Chain A
Amino acid sequence: DQQVKQNSPSLSVQEGRISILNCDYTNSMFDYFLWYKKYPAEGPTFLISISSIKDKNEDGRFTVFLNKSAKHLSLHIVPSQPGDTAVYFCAASESTSGTYKYIFGTGTRLKVLA
């Protein structure tokens, strides 16, 4: 039973355009969400987070949107750059007694074309 799903295995975008990566979850108890990007042969790098008390969080070129009723979140990258080419993972957790155990999606491979 996959509680966090990234249904698009891959995405190609032209440099300078917007990249939109999607993530769906099934557990309504999830209340904290993270996005990571991963280059080959490296560990995941934290990008941006969002708490369930918000519906949007912005950090530079990265914006995460959360739709709790749809159990859906998305990561927008504007403008996309060739260096953004990587695999992107979303992760979700419920804060049980202040502890966080993250469930990850299977990732979306983003390719930004120059």
Chain B
Amino acid sequence: DAGVTQSPTHLIKTRGQQVTLRCSPKSGHDTVSWYQQALGQGPQFIFQYYEEEERQRGNFPDRFSGHQFPNYSSELNVNALLLGDSALYLCASSSTGRGAETQYFGPGTRLLVL
């Protein structure tokens, strides 16, 4: 049973560029949440997708957008990259509607903006 997978594992971009990160949820899960983890901090909630719609959003600017596909996989897009966007981006999957949600994380994508 495959867990949550993310690609790529590492990425280097320059300021102003755009980036797309990808996530495949754990088998049987239909909800994907994205988090940003800066060095020395805990993960910060970016947004959550369910039924191909964004249903919750954290305190992140519109430069951060996402998408969920019919197979429940998801993309996180960041436009106009800033140096401060350098972080570990984590995807977590869960199953909505089956009681309280435990979220299972992927290994993350480490983004470095130069």
B64 to chain A, nearest CB (A): 15
Instruction: Check: A67 CB closer than 8 A to any chain B CB.
Output: no
Instruction: Check: B71 CB closer than 8 A to any chain A CB.
Output: no
- CB contact between A95 and one of B48, B94, B100 (< 8 Å): that residue: B100
Number of interface residues of B (CB under 8 A): 28
Among residues of A, the one whose C-beta sits closest to the C-beta of B40 is: A106
State in angstroms the CA–CA spacing of A6 and B101 once bound together. Answer: 22
A59 to chain B, nearest CB (A): 12
Please indicate the chain A residues that have their CB under 8 angstroms from the CB of B40 in the complex. 106
How many chain A residues sit at the interface, stated as a range, is 20 to 34
Contact B100 A106 (CB under 8 A): no
Contact A43 B4 (CB under 8 A): yes
B27 to chain A, nearest CB (A): 16
Contact B55 A89 (CB under 8 A): no
- CB contact between B107 and one of A32, A42, A91, A102 (< 8 Å): that residue: A42
Please indicate the chain B residues that have their CB under 8 angstroms from the CB of A98 in the complex. 96-97
